[in-house]
């Protein structure tokens, strides 16, 4: 029913792609369905601060599901990085385990973002 068309599709992008297959479906239904899926942990909802929510299926193999970004606070550019992931994952696993136990949370995903200024924005000041 939900095809994975993009890395982090927005609700509207999901609507458009689903609409191709089921032209009868409306944007409202997409929103309502997404809300359900998110509440049941089947889909994750992220917010990169660009005004629209992003969604992603959580059925991925473990190796995926890491959301590590560099966000430029000057121009809003977002860079996905994959460096140092191994070390990070190792620590994150431990941290998740500890946090789950202590706060009685079932952790299903995580988001790591570094904020700063990209090369372009550093020069332009």
Residues near a copy of itself, by CB under 8 A: 38-41, 44-49, 53, 70, 72-74, 79, 81, 83-84, 87-88, 91, 94-96, 98-100, 102-119, 121-122, 125
Write phi, then psi, for 54 (nearest 5 degrees). Answer: -120, 145
CB of 9 to DNA, least distance (A): 10
Residue whose pair of structure tokens reads 């990085």 in the numeric block = 81
CB of 20 to a copy of itself, least distance (A): 28
- Cα of first residue to Cα of last residue in the chain, in angstroms, is 48
Residue 13 CB: number of other CB atoms within 10 A? 16
What is the Cα 74 distance to its own chain's centre?
A: 21
Smaller CB separation from DNA, 35 or 59 = 35
List interacting residues with DNA (CB under 7 A). 10-12, 24-29, 31-33, 35, 51-53
CB of 125 to a copy of itself, least distance (A): 7
72 binds, among a copy of itself, DNA, none (CB under 5 to 8 A by kind): a copy of itself
Q: Give 14: exposed, middle or buried? Use CB within 10 Å, 0-12, 13-18, 19+.
A: buried
């Amino acid at each position: 029913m939900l095809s994975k068309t993009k890395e982090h599709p927005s609700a509207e992008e999901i609507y458009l792609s689903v609409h191709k297959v089921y032209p009868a479906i409306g944007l409202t239904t997409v929103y309502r369905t997404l809300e359900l899926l998110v509440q049941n942990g089947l889909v994750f909802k992220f917010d990169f601060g660009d005004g629209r929510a992003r969604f992603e299926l959580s059925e991925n193999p473990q190796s995926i599901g890491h959301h590590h970004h560099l966000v430029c606070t000057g121009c809003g550019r977002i860079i996905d990085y994959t460096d140092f992931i191994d070390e990070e994952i190792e620590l994150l696993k431990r941290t998740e385990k500890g946090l789950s136990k202590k706060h009685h949370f079932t952790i299903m995903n995580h988001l790591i973002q570094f904020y700063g200024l990209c090369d372009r924005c550093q020069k332009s000041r």
